Each structure stands twice: as structure tokens, then as C-alpha cells.
């Protein structure tokens, strides 16, 4: 039995989790900073790092308490080393190194995006590889071919906005607040996804890259008009806003599903896994599941708690890395990219 303490602090969630053997999540504590950043309409890096410092100690203590374990029961500490906000990453990494040094535990440096990519495998034994992984978060929209926990090959990614970023920006345009993903998901339920034919940018026909800036501009024009003459948010009814939100969401989902199926065709994979904050989107989960079922592909989406940033996915991937002896020295760096 191997028990890993995971620590995640790459953006605006301070998180710690205790996971046994990569699957048995004994605790998963997340302190969200959303309220601190809401009035700025996005994450303010300096505020994020300060908030991480203030709560990381308590978050780790709560994770140990909930898992009913002592430092002596922990076999190794996994922390997010990249990518993310550098000041935020430093707090989690420093906490992990300090505890590792004091408790004499080995350290595992985990890539946050790779942890999202394999988060759908938590609780799936044997592991579902090989698989095409779609990672959709606030900072990333990428397709990977995962052949093992330490073999995650990039197939394509966004050339401009990430999917979650597009959700957040469109929600701001629609006056729906921050963070945009959950609120667009909710509001879309009462809107018509066919009300507006927003562009589905697929780039050239074989490409596995994404682009959401044209879609974002189309939404802006729909709200404000293309000239000086029409529009404005104040002229839209609740139903208009719900229709725009639902049509925008449908355009994002259509592109994500189509590109994922293109990756399946190009790689010959028979399994699809989903990960990242936008993986919490109900329409995306349902559409991918339906498409996979039509094509007789296996489909794994993470539990809701493992979609947005969390440390269970860091500890879980950390377990598989630890099993392969992939530990790091105490002077390992963090990296924004
Ligand atoms: O993975 P995550 O917590 O952080 C990053 O690694 O970036 O993802 C956060 C993103 C935000 O952009 C948020 O709006 C989006 O995930 N998100 C959603 C939903 N829940 C969170 N997007 C669409 N639908 C949701 N239900
Ligand atoms: Zn993330």
C-alpha cells in the first residue's frame, strides 16, 4: 500500500489530498479563492500567491485529518511543479519540500496538465490506456495520446484562448459574472442552442488545434452589433441572454467533440478520456459520451470533484510516478509553462 499526499497551488485553488494506491481518495480538500478574484473578473496573480501562503498549512492539515492519518503514514509527497502562475506554484512546491524535508519523505514533481489528462483514470483499474485525452481548462485546451501515465504525447492545442477562458470572457460579456463556465452551463439550460449559428472554427481539415477567438468575437457582435447602430447588453432580455449562452456553449462543445473524434481517427485509439475544469460542463460530458457510445468507444470522464483544480489528481498521478521511481531532488524548480 502506498499513500501519497498531493499538493496543488498552480492557480487560484489551494488544495491537498491523500490518495492510496492512486485510486482510493481518502481526502480531497480544496480552498477556492474565487471570492477574492471575483471583483476583478479574473485571477490576480499576486493576490493568489498571498492567499496560498495564508491557507496552505491548514489545507494540508485538514487533508491529513480527513484521511485520519499522521505524517508517518505518508509514503511520498507529490506537488504541482508546472505549468501555472509562478508565485502560486512556488507556495505549493515550498510547502511540499518543507514537509518532505521535515518528515523525510521523497518528493514527486507533477505536471498539472498531465494530471488533468489522466484524472479520468482515477477509480478505473486497470488503467484505460491507450486513450485520446481531451484537456479543457481555464488555461489549456489540448488533445493528447496517453499510452501510459508517463507517456502523454501532445496532438494539438489552442492557438489563442483556452475553452474555459472563452467561457469566462463570454460570461463577462453577457453580464453573468465570474467564473463563467458554471454560470453559462446553468443559464444555457433555459436557452435554445440553435438560436444563433455561431462559427465552429475547425482550422484546416486535418488539424487537431483549436481556436476560440472568432467565436468570442461573433458573440460580441451579437451583443453589441457590428456597427455603432445596434445592440448593447441592456437591450437583451433574460431569454436573449440564455439563447446566446446556449448557442455559444453548443459551438464550443461541437468543436471539442469533432476534434476529439478526429484525434481518435488519426491515432486509432478506442478510448477517450476527458479532464480539466470545463470537463464539469454537462453538455460536453453528455455529447462526448453519446458520440463515443455511437462509435463503440470507451469513455471516461472524471468525477465532478476531480474536474476543477484539485490535489487528488496530483496525488493519483504522483502514485504512478512514484511506482516508477520518478522522484525529484529538493532543489527542483517550478516552471510557469
Ligand atoms: O482546471 P481548472 O480548475 O483550472 C485551470 O487549470 O485552468 O479550470 C477552470 C476553468 C474556468 O475557466 C471555468 O470557467 C471552467 O473551468 N469551468 C467550466 C465549468 N466549470 C468550470 N466551464 C464550463 N462548464 C462548467 N460547468
Ligand atoms: Zn487545472
pLDDT of residue 204: 78
Name the residue with the closest Cα to ligand 1, atom 3: 308
For residue 123, count CB atoms less than 10 angstroms from its CB and return exposed for 0-12, middle for 13-18, buried for 19 or more.
Answer: middle
CATH class of 3-118+308-323: alpha beta
Q: What are phi and psi of 194, to 5 degrees?
A: -100, 5
DSSP string, 33-93: -HHHHHTTTS--HHHHHHHHHHHHHHHHHHHHHHTT--GGG--EEEEEEESS-HHHHHHHH
Given a contact cutoff of 8 angstroms between Cβ atoms, the answer to whether 171 and 177 are in contact is yes
Using a 6 Å cutoff on CB, does residue 208 contact ligand 1?
no
Taking only the tens of pLDDT, the chain with its 337 residues reads 999 999 999 998 999 999 999 999 999 999 999 888 888 888 889 999 999 999 999 999 999 999 999 999 999 999 999 999 999 999 999 999 999 999 999 999 999 999 999 999 999 999 999 999 999 999 899 999 999 999 999 999 999 999 999 999 999 999 998 889 999 999 999 999 999 999 998 877 789 999 999 999 999 999 987 665 566 888 888 999 999 999 999 999 999 999 999 999 999 999 999 999 999 999 999 999 999 999 999 999 999 999 999 999 999 999 999 999 999 999 888 988 8
Q: Among the bound ligands, name the one nearest to the CA of residue 256.
A: 1
- Cis before 179? omega within 30: yes
| Ligand nearest to the CA of residue 165, numbered in listed order | 1
Report whether residue 256 contacts ligand 1, using a CB cutoff of 6 Å: no
Q: Residue 83: CB within 6 Å of ligand 1?
A: no
Across the beta sheet with 151-157, what order do the strands follow?
Answer: 151-157, 141-148, 131-136, 271-275, 298-300
pLDDT of residue 229: 56
Domain ranges of the chain: 3-118+308-323, 123-301
CA of 138 to the centre of ligand 2 (A): 7
Distance between first and last Cα of the chain? 33
280 Cβ closer than 6 Å to some ligand 1 atom: yes
| φ and ψ at residue 179, rounded to 5 degrees | -75, 150
Asked if residue 168 has its Cβ within 6 Å of ligand 1, the reply is yes
> Is the CB of residue 284 below 6 angstroms from any atom belonging to ligand 1?
no
Residue 185: closest CA among 229, 139, 250? 250
Of all atoms in ligand 1, which is nearest to the CA of residue 276? Answer: 1
Q: Do domains 3-118+308-323 and 123-301 have the same CATH topology?
A: yes
**pLDDT tens profile 106-120:** 999 999 999 999 999
pLDDT of residue 226: 65
Closest atom of ligand 1 to CA, residue 139 = 7
203 backbone φψ class: left, alpha, beta (φ>0; ψ -120 to 50): left
Looking at domain 123-301, does it have CATH number 3.30.420.40? yes
Nearest atom of ligand 1 to the alpha carbon of 179: 14
Atom of ligand 1 nearest to the CA of 116: 1
**How far is ligand 2, taken at its centre, from the CA of residue 232, in Å?**
33
DSSP secondary structure of 101-141: HHHT--EEEEEHHHHHHHGGGTT-SS---SEEEEEE-SS-E
Largest CA-CA distance found in the chain, in angstroms, rounded? 68
CA distance 239 to 237: 5
Would the pTM count as exceeding 0.85? yes
Q: Is the CB of 120 inside a 6 Å radius of any atom of ligand 1?
A: no
Contacts from 26-29 at CB under 8 Å and sequence distance 24+? 26/66, 26/67, 26/68, 26/69, 27/62, 27/63, 27/64, 27/65, 27/66, 27/67, 28/63, 28/305, 28/306, 28/310, 28/311, 28/312, 29/59, 29/62, 29/63, 29/66, 29/311
Instruction: For residue 135, list its beta bridge partners.
Output: 142, 275
Q: Is 243 in the pocket of ligand 1 (CB under 6 A)?
A: no
What per-residue confidence (pLDDT) applies to 143? Answer: 98
Amino acid at each position: 500500500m502506498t499513500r501519497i499526499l498531493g499538493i496543488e497551488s498552480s492557480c487560484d485553488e489551494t488544495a491537498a489530498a491523500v490518495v492510496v494506491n492512486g485510486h482510493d481518495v481518502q481526502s480531497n480538500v480544496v480552498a477556492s479563492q474565487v471570492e477574492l478574484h471575483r471583483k476583478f473578473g479574473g485571477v490576480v496573480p499576486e493576490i493568489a500567491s498571498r492567499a496560498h501562503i495564508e491557507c496552505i498549512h491548514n489545507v494540508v492539515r485538514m487533508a491529513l485529518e480527513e484521511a485520519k492519518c499522521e505524517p508517518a503514514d505518508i509514503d511520498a509527497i507529490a506537488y504541482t511543479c508546472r505549468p501555472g502562475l509562478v508565485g502560486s506554484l512556488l507556495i505549493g512546491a515550498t510547502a511540499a519540500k518543507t514537509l518532505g524535508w521535515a518528515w523525510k519523505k521523497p518528493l514527486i514533481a507533477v505536471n498539472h496538465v498531465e494530471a488533468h489528462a489522466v484524472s479520468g483514470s482515477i477509480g478505473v483499474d486497470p488503467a484505460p490506456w491507450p486513450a485520446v485525452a481531451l484537456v479543457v481548462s481555464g488555461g489549456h485546451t489540448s488533445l493528447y495520446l496517453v499510452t501510459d501515465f508517463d507517456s502523454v504525447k501532445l496532438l494539438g492545442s489552442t492557438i489563442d484562448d483556452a475553452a474555459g477562458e472563452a467561457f469566462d470572457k463570454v460570461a463577462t460579456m453577457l453580464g453573468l459574472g465570474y467564473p463563467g463556465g458554471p454560470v453559462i452551463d446553468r443559464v444555457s439550460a433555459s436557452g435554445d442552442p440553435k438560436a444563433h449559428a455561431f462559427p465552429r472554427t475547425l482550422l484546416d481539415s486535418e488539424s487537431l488545434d483549436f481556436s476560440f477567438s472568432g467565436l468570442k468575437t461573433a458573440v460580441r457582435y451579437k451583443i453589441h452589433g457590428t456597427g455603432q447602430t445596434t445592440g448593447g447588453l441592456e437591450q437583451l432580455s433574460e431569454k436573449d441572454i440564455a439563447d446566446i449562452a446556449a448557442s455559444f456553449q453548443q459551438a464550443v462543445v461541437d468543436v471539442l467533440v469533432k476534434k476529439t473524434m478526429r484525434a481518435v481517427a488519426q491515432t486509432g485509439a478506442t478510448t477517450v478520456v476527458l479532464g480539466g475544469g470545463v470537463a464539469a460542463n454537462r453538455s460536453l460530458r453528455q455529447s462526448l459520451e453519446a458520440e463515443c457510445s455511437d462509435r463503440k468507444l470507451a469513455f471516461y470522464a472524471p468525477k465532478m470533484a476531480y474536474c476543477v483544480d484539485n490535489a487528488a489528481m496530483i496525488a493519483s498521478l504522483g502514485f504512478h510516478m512514484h511506482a516508477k521511481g520518478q522522484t525529484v531532488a529538493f532543489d527542483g524548480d517550478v516552471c510557469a509553462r
